[in-house]
Amino acid sequence: MTDTDSVEVNRPAARPRPDIGIKATGLTVDFPIYDANSRSLRHVLMLNPVANAMRGASHVGGTIAQGSRGAMVVRAIDGMSFEIAKGERVGIIGHNGAGKTTLLRTVAGIYEPTGGKLETVGRIMPLFNLMEGMMPDATGREFIRIRGILLGLEPSQIDALTEEVIDFCELGVYIDMPVRTYSTGMLVRLAFALATSVTSDILLFDELIGAGDARFVERAEARLQTFVKRSSIVVVATHSAAVMQKWCTRAFLLDHGKIVHDGGVVEVLKTYAKRRAAEGA
242 burial via Cβ count (<10 Å: 0-12, 13-18, 19+): exposed
Q: Pick from 108, 220, 244, 259: which binds other proteins (CB under 8 A)? A: 108
- Could you say whether residue 167 binds other proteins (CB under 8 A)? no
- Could you say whether residue 110 binds other proteins (CB under 8 A)? yes
Taking the complex as a whole, the smallest distance from the CB of residue 128 to other proteins amounts, in Å, to 6
Q: Which of residues 200 and 251 has its CB atom nearest to other proteins in the complex? A: 200
Taking the complex as a whole, the smallest distance from the CB of residue 108 to other proteins amounts, in Å, to 6
Letters for 7-46 (x = contact with other proteins by CB under 8 A, - = none) are ------------------------xx-x-x----------
Q: Which of residues 231 and 272 has its CB atom nearest to other proteins in the complex? A: 231
- Could you say whether residue 149 binds other proteins (CB under 8 A)? yes
Taking the complex as a whole, the smallest distance from the CB of residue 233 to other proteins amounts, in Å, to 17
Q: Which of residues 63 and 261 has its CB atom nearest to other proteins in the complex? A: 63
Taking the complex as a whole, the smallest distance from the CB of residue 168 to other proteins amounts, in Å, to 22
- Could you say whether residue 132 binds other proteins (CB under 8 A)? yes
Taking the complex as a whole, the smallest distance from the CB of residue 74 to other proteins amounts, in Å, to 10
Task: Give the span between the Cα atoms of 114 and 62, in whole angstroms.
Answer: 15
Task: Give the span between the Cα atoms of 205 and 130, in whole angstroms.
Answer: 10
Q: Which of residues 1 and 47 has its CB atom nearest to other proteins in the complex? A: 1
Task: Give the span between the Cα atoms of 128 and 12, in whole angstroms.
Answer: 22
- Could you say whether residue 82 binds other proteins (CB under 8 A)? no
Letters for 213-232 (x = contact with other proteins by CB under 8 A, - = none) are --------------------
Q: How is the chain classified by DSSP, letter by letter? A: --GGG--EESS------TT-EEEEEEEEEEEE---TTHHHHHHHHHH-HHHHTTTTT-SSS-EEEE-TTS-EEEEEEEEEEEEEETT-EEEEE-STTSSHHHHHHHHTTSSPPSEEEEEEES-EEEES-TTTT--TTSBHHHHHHHHHHHTT--HHHHHHHHHHHHHHH--GGGGGSBGGGS-HHHHHHHHHHHHTTEE-SEEEEES----S-HHHHHHHHHHHHHHHHHSSEEEEE-S-HHHHHHH-SEEEEEETTEEEEEE-HHHHHHHHHHHHHHHT-
Q: Pick from 95, 100, 105, 256: which binds other proteins (CB under 8 A)? A: 105
Q: Pick from 3, 112, 213, 279: which binds other proteins (CB under 8 A)? A: 112
Residues lying near other proteins in the complex (CB under 8 A) are found at: 1-2, 5, 31-32, 34, 36, 105, 108-112, 124, 126, 128-129, 132-133, 135, 137, 146, 149-150, 152
